[in-house]
Structure 1
Amino acid sequence: MTDMAISHYGDVLIGVWRDRVVSAYDITGHTRVDGGVRVVFEVEESKEFSYLVGQPSPVGAWKQGQARPIVYEDTEKIRKGDAPQTSVGDATRAVVGGFILTVNENGNATVIPPQGGTVLVTAPLRRDDHPFTYTDDEGNAYPAAVIDKHPVGGWTFIEYIRDGQPVVESVEDSRVEDLRD
């Protein structure tokens, strides 16, 4: 990693495994080791980018043949996205995959889906707000929160905490236990 790359891209470190974000850190410093060949970063958990944990990689999937699974990306692209944005009165508008997203100056968002499209909105949950338990196929139990029930019975959309990280997925109703009184 060159000094120029560290200077330009060295503010945030996002860890990705199997095309999902597993960690987000703000870089607070760095040290060159092994004669300057490798770089060790000093980091702290990112407050701004922690919402990415559990989400798909913001830079896309690793492609076979890449020499190293490292991607340099401008932080502003992660903050604002790369969809072309236009000003519409007191709001900003972007169209992604036929979905129209408009955000006004107060931070309120409106999403208009294309014909047949579906919008699911999930608020980030506090790590201590998981009043359910999800049990996986191996019998491991995890703290969980129900996000939504599927319109077709038998399935629940949940967030659960695995290895300290939030995971969002659809599971069978029978695997979710309500722990509330």
Structure 2
Amino acid sequence: MFAVHVNKTWPLVEQKRMTPADAVLGRWPISDEKIGEFGDVVLGVFENVVVAAYDITGHSRDAENKVIFTGTPSTTWAHLIGQPTPAAPWGRRGDAWPVRTVATSVVAGGDVPVEDTPAGRRAVVDGVVLTVDDDRHVTVILPAGRAITVQYATT
């Protein structure tokens, strides 16, 4: 699964000057090896939140060797729209590469390994995103329709 950073193009979608498909499917610096390994789904990510999901049906390359995907809106992965990216988030200083990868099987299983991010240590378990920052504040983001019970130690 690819996650592509659409922070420059998604505002054009919001202004109705570009289609979501054009923003997400077009012109990415991806190797053929990566396409072979991760080329089943592409997620558009704006401000580290999934805004679109497409099942990849093919691809071509432009004159600059950038990948242009063809695809259809994904029904399998539509539940990720509005959720934090399952791939490593953008935001670290010097972090400009526009494409992330994550194994589709990992996302299908609902778990993403713990990783250090600018916001703190982050894990995704069964679609629930848990982040603990440097001050030890805990943020939990639940998928729609989920409930949470919080318990804490008294000592």
Give the alignment partner of residue 10 of structure 1, picking from 33, 36, 39: 39
Q: Which runs of 4+ in 1 moved over 3 A?
A: 110-114
Change (3 A) 1:114 1:81: same
SS of residue matched to 2:93: coil
Alignment partner of 1:76 out of 71, 81, 105:
105
Match of 2:72 in 1: 44
Q: Larger % of helix: which?
A: 2
CA deviations 1:19-40 (Å, max 9, x no partner) are 11100000000001115x1111
Determine which of 20, 39, 42 is the counterpart of 2:49. 20
- 1:81, 1:9 → 2: CA distance? 17
Q: Mark the CA change 1:83 to 1:74 in structure 2 (over 3 Å): closer, same or farther.
A: closer
1:65 matched to which residue of 2?
A: 94
Which consecutive unaligned segments of at least 5 residues does structure 1 have? 85-92, 98-109, 117-181
Q: Could you tell me how far apart the structure 1 residues matched to 2:31 and 2:105 are?
A: 20
Alpha-carbon contact 2:88-2:100 (below 8 Å) kept: no
Q: Distance in 1 between matches of 2:97 and 2:40?
A: 20
- More displaced stretch, 58-67 vs 38-47: 58-67
Residue 4 of structure 1: SS of its match in structure 2?
helix
Aligned length: 94
Highest RCO, 1 vs 2 (Cα 8 Å, sep ≥ 6): 2
Deviations 1:130-172 (A, max 9, x none): xxxxxxxxxxxxxxxxxxxxxxxxxxxxxxxxxxxxxxxxxxx
Residue of 109, 115, 119 corresponding to 2:151:
115
Greater share of residues in strand: 1
Q: Give the 3-state SS of the residue equivalent to 1:41 in structure 2.
A: strand
CA distance in 1, matches of 2:36, 2:147: 36
Superposed CA RMSD: 2.8
* 1:22-171 → structure 2 map (5 Å cutoff): 22-34=51-63, 37-62=65-90, 63-82=92-111, 113-115=149-151
Residues 34 and 20 of structure 1, relative CA distance in 2, 3 Å threshold: same
SS class of match (2:99): coil
Q: Which amino acid aligns with 2:40?
A: D
Counterparts in 2 of 1:112 and 1:55: CA distance versus 1, 3 Å = closer
- Between the two proteins, what is the percent identity of the paired residues? 38
Larger radius of gyration: 1
Q: Distance in 2 between matches of 1:3 and 1:69?
A: 16
TM-score (norm 1): 0.45
